[in-house]
Amino acid sequence: MRLKGKIALITGGANGIGLATAERFAREGAKIILWDVSAKGNDVVERLKKAGNEAIFNMVSVTNKDEVENGVAEAKAHFGRIDILINNAGITKDRTLLKMSKQEWDDVISVNQTGVFNCTQAVAPIMKDQHYGRIISASSNVAIHGNYGQTNYVATKSAIIGMTKVWALELGRYGITANCIAPGFIQTAMTAAMPEEMRKQSLPHIPLGKWGSPDDIANGYLYLASDEASFVSGICLTIDGGATR
């Protein structure tokens, strides 16, 4: 098992990619700390426990610094350490530039960018003391080539790439790697809400001719969290079926 005995904190873990990642990591021997704003996280943890895995759930909004710090303290008290942080929580509120409200801008920045900052800043001191850690954050391939109607979302996902490179520089001396993943179109509840015409128009731009699954991204997270990636830091791994070339 590639993560045997490792303690993994996964944000946005109740659905989609976060859920697939929690399940994948648990199968690989990790003990799971699941965070989400949805109570569905309780059901996920119960399923993991029934399968023989060790897991805890906290209802935490990554935008709330106090909730994040309290959740990290509770996780540290329960498991004694945190080895892996998966900054997966994210939202979209799409609108063209001329129609986007300040609230739509602020909401997406708050979750997708400030939330990642809050979680990483809270967990990094624990990893520093351990002299070991894996920080992996969710970017997007739209950070690389842009996307119509997503000024706020693209801004946050571009920021994740830059923040990751800074953390690789600052934290490497403490045995901590920092990387991110840039998914393309993935079959989740979030993308299911997209207009069908937009979904169809995306396929010709993907050389593999299909959308990815949450498991495709979970497998990327697994690689970067494993000892196989012990000399990998400061990168953005694109997983999008060849759409970014």
Q: Can you give the pLDDT of all 245 residues of the chain as single tens digits?
A: 999 999 999 999 999 999 999 999 999 999 999 999 999 999 999 999 999 999 999 999 999 999 999 999 999 999 999 999 999 999 999 999 999 999 999 999 999 999 999 999 999 999 999 999 999 999 999 999 999 999 999 999 999 999 999 999 999 999 999 999 999 999 887 777 667 777 778 888 899 999 999 999 999 999 999 999 999 999 999 999 999 98
CA atoms within 13 A on the CB side of 122: 25
Beta bridge partners of 215: none
pLDDT of residue 224: 98
Reported pTM: 0.96
8 burial level (CB within 10 Å; 0-12, 13-18, 19+): buried
Cross-strand pairs, 180? 137, 236
Note the pLDDT of residue 188: 83
Give residue 77's pLDDT: 98
- The CATH code that applies to domain 7-239 is 3.40.50.720
Tokens encoding 59: 């209802």
Amino acid 189: pLDDT:
75
How many Cβ atoms from other residues are within 10 Å of residue 67's Cβ?
A: 17
Residues marked active site are found at 153
Domain boundaries of the chain, sorted by first residue = 7-239
**Radius of gyration for the chain, computed over Cα atoms and rounded to the nearest angstrom:** 17
